[in-house]
Structure 1
Amino acid sequence: MSTLPIEELKNLVEQAKSPCISLYMPTYQAGSEVQQNPIRFKNLIRQAESLLQEQHGLRQSDVKELLQPALALDKNDFWQHQNSGLAIFVSENFFRYYCLPLSFEELVIAGDRFHFKPLMPLLTGDGTFYLLALSQKQIRFFEGTRHSIHEIELEDIPTNMEDALMYDETAKEGQFRLSSPRGSTGNSFRYSGSFHGQGSPDQDNPQEDLLQFFHIVDRGLQKYLHDEKAPLLLAGVEYLLPIYQEANTYANLMAEIIPIENIGVIKPEDLLEPAWSQVEPYYTQSRQAAIEHYHELAGTGQTSTDLKETIVAAYYGRIDQLFVSVDTQKWGNFDPQANQLDLHAEAEPGDDDLLNEAALQTLLTGEQSTPLKQTKYRNRHL
């Protein structure tokens, strides 16, 4: 899993019951460093035990019972199958863990709600990209982030041109045909019209055949890219790029191609560095544009760096863009009924990280209707 859907976040919010333990740690995937995983984990569990006793007044026996689902993970086989980071959420009768492609700083927080701020790059899709490796004989599809990449098995999509064009290899004269929607074939990727010809797709009109093939691939990818905004990269030989661009309907197809002669033998991890080198400027420019927009609005009454003002605006869904520090906590609590904000230098019983609350409310209200966001405050920086 490279991203966390908003529905999953809502589930974590709704199911939690105080006290809530949020545990984050970096993890190693291979080599001798894997041995550090259980050591880090045990140290963080001890921190969680102390917080539950000191801040929430739980007895040691109750702490052990609450953390038992997390403790049960500590087995050799579990540590051998990790990603870049591990996130664990525990509360009464509730337990979730996620092996994620994001290397977290070690962190344990015990509060009335779960702490999600380290997940923000995944929750907002920051750094996510897709990669489509193209050739006449094979199609491969990948999803990645700045930290990892994995292949997605394509279902119901022909992954080579011969299958896509229903080429009959057993026909003596090499006939092939494209079925119309009224055809009797069971192929779900029917292309309008029909064609009968001699020779192979490689020999007769290869560019037209490739274009038809790529139309079919583009249509099949819609179920994977539906409502996605992440950039889509292409990999393969360079002459394929303009042909696929003509067939493409995905809005965020990038204008470059990663040159690869044989996509069948390439390993996913070998694609990460060249892919990220093209994707990183896309996200850097996007963030820079948001920052410049913030500065343009500064002094107009549409921006704020005031914590209380921002917390109130986040609670009522009046934030369009929020800049928040992942590594900083502002402890306290907010009473929306009394419009009262209390800040503390150190975490006290009943406190939450108010920056986490602002980010969470902004994400959740962002899923609601557009008018909710058409308000005074467009940009905030915390």
Structure 2
Amino acid sequence: MDSLTKDDLKTLLDAQGEWCISLYMPTVRAGAEVQQNLIRFKNLLRVAEERLLELGVRRPDANQFLAPAQRLLNNADFWRHQSEGLAVFLVGEQMVSFRLPVEFDELVVVSRRFHLKPLMTLLRGDGRFYVLALSQNEVRLLEGSRNVIEEVEIEDMPTSLAETLRPDYDPDVRFQFRVAARSRTDGPGDAIFHGQGTTGYEVEKEQVVRYFREVDKGIRDLLGDQRAPLILAGVEYLLPIYREVSSYPHLMDEGLTGNPESLTAKDIHERAWKLVEPLFNRDLDEQKALYHELAGRGDQLASTDLKEIVRAAHDGRIATLFVARDVQQWGRFSPNYTLHVHLDMQPGDQDLLDLAAVQTYLNGGRVYALEKSDIPGDGEPIAAIFRY
């Protein structure tokens, strides 16, 4: 499973080329149906080639555009490691792919810019969460969604509390963590590690704090400005120490207590999802209720007018956007605010719903990519709450 950041989105948004090709598909992780992944991808490439030909691209040039994706068909290792969905972007002779925990609908878009709306759910953190498992012998970060959880590799981050605290750490020495009783020399609740073995020694809380600061740095470097919730899992004594040093703003108050080494990934996923599901639902429900309140009294801060919303997104005026992920609205928008809407895609068109979603996200607004039937309002594929 790959990570997707705001910087990735900006890179895709800034991509320049005559044609930008966006491919989305659901993927199967294991079992006999894994072969469907290759079949689906071949079909998407066939559709992409047809779209390019319809746009007047010569067949040799179309084949050249799609060559990096064609080579991907022969990459057995790539197909052995899939998540719930695959997104592939091609421009010129370059390609980037993301294996992500979202079951995308099959979609092919050939336009002057990449189609990014299906990624909004991930970038918003809606449905995606992380679990940081802290134990005596290892530190793990897991990325989860509604249906799956997987371990994430973090470069340059310590993976063991013990080996960080003592350079000559002996793996045969096991550590126990406790809160020392108050005494004349110990402050309230001072934490001490006690080694059990032939080389017993104590580790002060300050050393644990320094270690957790290194872990926190690795977490922040990886998650950046994501808004996905982070859940701590670990023995009860470690969690408050990590909370003291954590700089990630979306660390959840509730955690999973107990030794995570004794839990399977399935166990962690089940317990973690019970914590985050109400959070995801609550945020969306609150924003929908606010929209209905504003629209119900005729407030101009709520709108379903596509042209008004696209212009507001360009200006950074949207606080919350609801957009249909299963609908495209083709047209053109220029910086002088000229906007044309077309029933069918024409050369040079882009999905205006996609444009509004990306601009809203880049300007710090909330974006909820939903089924059209879940969009608040009067049946339109887009609705917005304006900042002003």
TM more than 0.5: yes
- The one-letter amino acid of 2:33's match is E
1:210-229, aligned counterparts within 5 Å? 212=206, 215-226=209-220, 227-229=225-227
Partner of 1:291: 288
* Higher relative strand content: 2
Please give the alpha-carbon distance, in whole angstroms, between the structure 1 residues aligned to 2:169 and 2:215.
25
- Name which of 355, 358, 376 aligns with 1:357: 355
Larger displacement relative to structure 2 (70-79 or 227-236): 227-236
Partner of 1:123: 123
**For 1:256, what is the secondary structure of its paired residue?**
coil
| Alpha-carbon contact 1:241-1:257 (below 8 Å) kept | no
Aligned length: 338
| TM-score, length basis structure 2 | 0.75
Structure 1 residue 209 displacement after superposition: 6.5
Identity of aligned residues (%): 41
- The one-letter amino acid of 2:299's match is T
Residues 97/2 of structure 1: CA separation in 2 closer, same or farther (3 Å cut): closer
Structure 1 residue 148 displacement after superposition: 3.1
Residues 308/64 of structure 1: CA separation in 2 closer, same or farther (3 Å cut): same
Please give the alpha-carbon distance, in whole angstroms, between the structure 1 residues aligned to 2:245 and 2:338.
52
**For 2:33, what is the secondary structure of its paired residue?**
helix
Partner of 1:200: 194
Structure 1 residue 269 displacement after superposition: 4.6
CA deviation string 1:341-379 (max 9, x = no partner): 222222222221110011122223339xxxxxxxxx971
1:308-319, aligned counterparts within 5 Å? 308-319=307-318
Please give the alpha-carbon distance, in whole angstroms, between the structure 1 residues aligned to 2:283 and 2:38.
38
Q: What is the root-mean-square deviation in Å for CA atoms of aligned residues?
A: 3.4
Structure 1 residue 329 displacement after superposition: 0.9
| Alpha-carbon contact 2:331-2:350 (below 8 Å) kept | yes
CA deviation string 1:322-350 (max 9, x = no partner): 1111111111112332x332222222222
Which runs of 5 or more structure 1 residues have no equivalent in the other structure? 170-194, 368-376
Please give the alpha-carbon distance, in whole angstroms, between the structure 1 residues aligned to 2:329 and 2:102.
23
**For 2:131, what is the secondary structure of its paired residue?**
strand
- The one-letter amino acid of 1:5's match is T
Please give the alpha-carbon distance, in whole angstroms, between the structure 2 residues aligned to 1:129 and 1:17.
34
**For 1:110, what is the secondary structure of its paired residue?**
strand
Residues 60/294 of structure 1: CA separation in 2 closer, same or farther (3 Å cut): same
| TM-score, length basis structure 1 | 0.76
| Alpha-carbon contact 1:2-1:122 (below 8 Å) kept | no
Residues 31/334 of structure 1: CA separation in 2 closer, same or farther (3 Å cut): same
Larger radius of gyration: 1
Larger displacement relative to structure 2 (296-305 or 34-43): 296-305
**For 1:252, what is the secondary structure of its paired residue?**
coil
- The one-letter amino acid of 1:107's match is L
1:130-279, aligned counterparts within 5 Å? 130-146=130-146, 147-153=148-154, 155=156, 157=158, 159-160=160-161, 164=165, 200=194, 212=206, 215-226=209-220, 227-237=225-235, 239-240=236-237, 243-244=240-241, 247=244, 249-250=246-247, 251-261=249-259, 263-264=260-261, 266-279=263-276
Partner of 1:17: 17
Please give the alpha-carbon distance, in whole angstroms, between the structure 2 residues aligned to 1:68 and 1:166.
49
Structure 1 residue 313 displacement after superposition: 1.1
Partner of 1:322: 321
Please give the alpha-carbon distance, in whole angstroms, between the structure 2 residues aligned to 1:353 and 1:162.
52
Please give the alpha-carbon distance, in whole angstroms, between the structure 2 residues aligned to 1:335 and 1:162.
57
Which runs of 5 or more structure 2 residues have no equivalent in the other structure? 171-189, 366-382
Partner of 2:34: 34
Partner of 1:343: 341
